[in-house]
């Protein structure tokens, strides 16, 4: 990931970025930083880049031309030429920090972390000439409902939040997923040595060594904290927890959806008496399913509602998995897959794994990784992978048929 910052104060950006965890990641080459001083692209000897606003008013406005030249330099074009290649004309991800933008959150951080390059434009004074914003900016982002003297601090906040999600930046690969906002709850209190400080003791449960009791304590404290500070997040958590409980009527078949609700950045799109629809923002996948595998005839009204919602989401989602339901859309739109799944009911012995060579060893690694994260291992396999499916059955994994549908703008959803 390369972070590029267009600013009047590059030294401010570098002073913060070159320290701590982010500074270490820069030194190791895990991330890169480039700063572009907008004054360097002024067209006058005084390096002046601001002027009075047309129409009158207080303050100064940063001019369009120096910002545009700095942008051209950032994308590798000749800063003082007017011939811009077709490649440069394609907009890069340019973030303008403005209180008028969409408020930054963790979901946005995850989205930005998927880019290979981010360009930040830091405004000052009364803002930036609207014409250059219209030409280069792709995202207007706000750090909150307050006004700062410039965009550098919000840019640094966003860079930090994005950088820590990039593999290799944090020492513990699990850290980004187990801190604040994990499972839609605020993080539980943390303690370190000594056990007693200013007559305040570390809670006994954390010294007990009983991991089950510790996890329960942490969950309780997270719920208490969230209820006190972010009641909106708590309601979201309760809704997801309730839905996961309802999914137990077809527990194993619903594992992909329940995992998305418990661990990932997901939304409940629909929850009826019979059917549900979940959208996972991280993987851009929809999961459709039913709460009780014993029900073979699904409510027609709910099925129609789920179908129409899938159609609404096809501009965002890349795929929809029908975990234990059929007939929502035409069969010819779907592909048959097999889900293999490891649950506590089918433990795998080392001896059994060795019998299946590379596939067994691969499974052992994936399952161990999932267990360390507190997750359930599952994987979708196509019928062309019949040997792996047969090996998974022999090893003792649970298998279930799943329908998969690729989503695009041209997909027709009308059901015969």
Of the candidates 299, 333, 346, 321, the residue with the CA atom closest to the CA atom of residue 253: 321
Contact 229, 197 (CB under 8 A): no
Contact 286, 310 (CB under 8 A): yes
Q: Which residues of 68-87 are buried (b: 16+ CB within 10 A; e: fewer)?
A: bbbbbbbbebebeeeeeeee
Considering the domain 2-163 in this protein, what is its CATH number? 3.40.1280.10
Enumerate the H helices of 60-170 as residue ranges: 64-74, 86-89, 106-113, 130-136, 152-163
Pair of tokens at residue 329: 């859309």
Measured distance CA(399)–CA(395) in Å, rounded:
11
Average pLDDT, the chain: 88
pLDDT of residue 347: 61
pLDDT of residue 225: 94
- Rounded average pLDDT over 297-316: 93
Of the candidates 323, 318, 321, the residue with the CA atom closest to the CA atom of residue 334: 321
At 82, is the secondary structure helix, strand, or coil? coil
What percentage of the chain has pLDDT greater than the value 90?
Answer: 66
* pLDDT above 50 (res 135): yes
pLDDT of residue 174: 44
Is residue 137 classed exposed, middle or buried when 0-12, 13-18 and 19+ CB atoms within 10 A define those classes? buried
Q: What is the location of CATH 1.10.1270.20 in the chain?
A: 184-229
10 or 248, which is more confident: 10
Contact 188, 225 (CB under 8 A): yes
Pair of tokens at residue 14: 């570098």
Most confident of 79-83, 170-174, 264-268, 376-380: 376-380
- Rounded average pLDDT over 171-175: 55
- Rounded average pLDDT over 275-284: 93
pLDDT of residue 351: 64
pLDDT of residue 344: 64
pLDDT of residue 84: 52
Measured distance CA(254)–CA(266) in Å, rounded:
15
Most confident of 173-177, 244-248, 360-364, 394-398: 244-248
Of the candidates 63, 60, 17, 56, the residue with the CA atom closest to the CA atom of residue 38: 63
pLDDT band at 83 (very low <50, low <70, confident <90, very high): very low
pLDDT in tens, 319-332: 999 999 999 998 89
* pLDDT above 60 (res 36): yes
- Rounded average pLDDT over 142-151: 93
408 or 244, which is more confident: 244
- Rounded average pLDDT over 341-359: 69
Q: What is the DSSP string of 216-239?
A: HHHHHHHHHHHHHH-HHHHHHHHH
Q: What is the location of CATH 3.40.1280.10 in the chain?
A: 2-163
Q: May I ask the CATH architecture of the domain 184-229?
A: Orthogonal Bundle (1.10)
Enumerate the H helices of 264-356 as residue ranges: 300-313, 350-354
The model scores a pTM over 0.85? no
59 or 131, which is more confident: 131
């Amino acid at each position: 990931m390369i972070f590029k910052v267009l600013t009047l104060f590059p030294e401010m950006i570098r002073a913060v970025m070159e320290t701590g965890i982010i500074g270490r990641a820069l030194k190791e080459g895990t991330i890169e930083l480039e700063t572009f001083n907008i004054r360097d692209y002024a067209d006058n000897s005084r390096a002046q880049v601001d002027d009075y606003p047309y129409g009158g008013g207080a303050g100064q406005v940063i001019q369009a031309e120096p910002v545009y030249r700095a942008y051209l330099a950032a994308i590798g074009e000749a800063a003082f030429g007017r011939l811009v290649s077709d490649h440069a004309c394609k907009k890069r991800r340019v973030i303008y920090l403005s209180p008028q933008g969409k408020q930054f959150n963790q979901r946005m951080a995850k989205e930005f972390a998927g880019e290979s390059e981010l360009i930040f434009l830091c405004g000052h004074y009364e803002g930036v000439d609207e014409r250059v914003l219209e030409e280069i900016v792709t995202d207007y982002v706000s750090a909150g409902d307050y006004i700062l003297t410039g965009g550098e601090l919000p840019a640094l906040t966003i860079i930090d939040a994005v950088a820590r999600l990039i593999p290799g930046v944090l020492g513990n690969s699990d850290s980004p997923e187990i801190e604040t906002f994990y499972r839609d709850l605020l993080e539980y209190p943390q303690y370190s040595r000594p056990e007693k400080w200013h007559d305040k003791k570390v809670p006994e449960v954390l010294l007990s060594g009983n991991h089950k009791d510790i996890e329960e304590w942490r969950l309780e404290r997270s719920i208490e904290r969230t209820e006190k500070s972010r009641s909106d997040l708590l309601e979201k958590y309760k809704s997801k927890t309730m839905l996961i409980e309802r999914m137990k009527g077809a527990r194993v078949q619903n594992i992909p959806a329940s995992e998305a609700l418990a661990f990932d950045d997901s939304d409940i799109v629909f929850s009826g008496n019979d059917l549900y629809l979940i959208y996972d923002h991280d993987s851009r996948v929809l999961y459709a399913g039913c709460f009780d595998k014993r029900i073979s005839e699904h409510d027609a009204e709910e099925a129609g509602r789920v179908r129409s919602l899938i159609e609404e989401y096809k501009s965002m989602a890349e795929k929809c998995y029908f975990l234990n339901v059929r007939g929502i859309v035409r069969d010819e739109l779907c592909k048959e897959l097999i889900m293999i799944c490891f649950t506590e009911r089918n433990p795998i012995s080392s001896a059994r794994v060795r019998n299946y060579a590379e596939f067994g060893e691969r499974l052992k690694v994936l399952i161990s990784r999932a267990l360390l994260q507190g997750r359930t291992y599952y994987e979708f396999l196509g019928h062309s992978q019949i040997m792996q499916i047969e090996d998974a059955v022999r090893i003792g994994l649970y298998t279930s048929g799943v329908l998969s549908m690729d989503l695009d703008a041209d997909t027709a959803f009308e059901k015969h």
